[in-house]
Amino acid sequence: MPAFFRLQLCWLAASFVFPTVGLVLASAGVGDPLLLSDIALPATLACWIGGLLTPWVLGGDASRQARRTGFVLLWSAIAIAFPLSWDLPWAILHHWVYGATAADASKWYFWAYAVADTRFLRSEPLMVIVEYWSGVIGVVEIVFLGLFLSNKLSAAVRFFIAAGCFQFYGTSVFFISEIARNLADIRPDAISYLKFFGLNGMWLVMPAASGFVLMQLMKDPGYDARATTRRLFGRAKPPILMDGRL
């Protein structure tokens, strides 16, 4: 397994660890819930950015194909995991989350972001629609990843473009609806603005960036997504011996 990809996996794992630790501490009544949210969510964003920069900054002597594939795989993992683990569950449970406060330890997982964007504490209908939309996009990303790893690249690209367009549209509605209200629902402090613009802005920027990298991979007629991914995970098949020779 290339060192850069191992580091990418560490970044990805850390992006789950921070909110999980925050939830455990908040549920146990250890630490200030607001402080925990102001640490966990920016740390999660930093992990995303660190993981996505790693192939380009710390790729070492890894091939261009390997670095590009690592980038696409990491963004796909983020684009699948987080909409399906936060956006969709919030949409399903929004009535339960409604009106949550710092004292509601069991709701901290959702409250940690919602305290910065109070639309999620009021169960605004538009937000419910947008978050269900995000959940559907997560499923589309799963289809893309399955096709990509099966080397059905032409079909994979179509699903990737569909997911990217859906992400851009949903996030644009998310931002424009709040900017039109002069950010009235955003808690007026630097960390809340970082949560609002940073965590959500990824879904405006990264579909285009990842799409560009994916198209660079597609330009190589000999590109094998499955084999490259196996090499990244250190599971490349050994050479076949024929007549005693490699």
Task: Name the one residue in this structure whose structure tokens are 């305290």.
Answer: 115
Taking the C-alpha atoms of residue 164 and residue 148, their distance in angstroms, rounded to an integer, is 15
Residue 150 lies in a domain: yes
Residue 204 lies in a domain: yes
Full domain range(s) for residue 150: 3-232
What Å distances lie between residue 128 and 39, 84, 95, 197, CA to CA?
26, 14, 10, 19
Give SS3 for 242.
strand
How confident is the model over 197-206, as pLDDT tens digits? 999 999 999 9
**Residue-level pLDDT at 234:** 86
Residue 239 lies in a domain: no
**Residue-level pLDDT at 172:** 92
How confident is the model over 74-102, as pLDDT tens digits? 999 999 999 999 999 999 999 999 999 98
Decide if pLDDT at 184 tops 70: yes
For the chain, the average pLDDT equals 91
Taking the C-alpha atoms of residue 16 and residue 142, their distance in angstroms, rounded to an integer, is 19
Taking the C-alpha atoms of residue 192 and residue 104, their distance in angstroms, rounded to an integer, is 19
What is the number of structural domains in the chain? Answer: 1
Residue 152 lies in a domain: yes
Residue 245 lies in a domain: no
**Residue-level pLDDT at 236:** 60
242 forms bridges with which residues in the sheet? 245
pTM of the model: 0.90
The pair of three-digit structure tokens given for residue 97, joined into one six-digit string: 């989350």
Residue 238 lies in a domain: no
Q: Are 167 and 159 in contact (CB under 8 A)?
A: no
Work out the average pLDDT over 18-32. 94
Residue 157 lies in a domain: yes
Residue 225 lies in a domain: yes
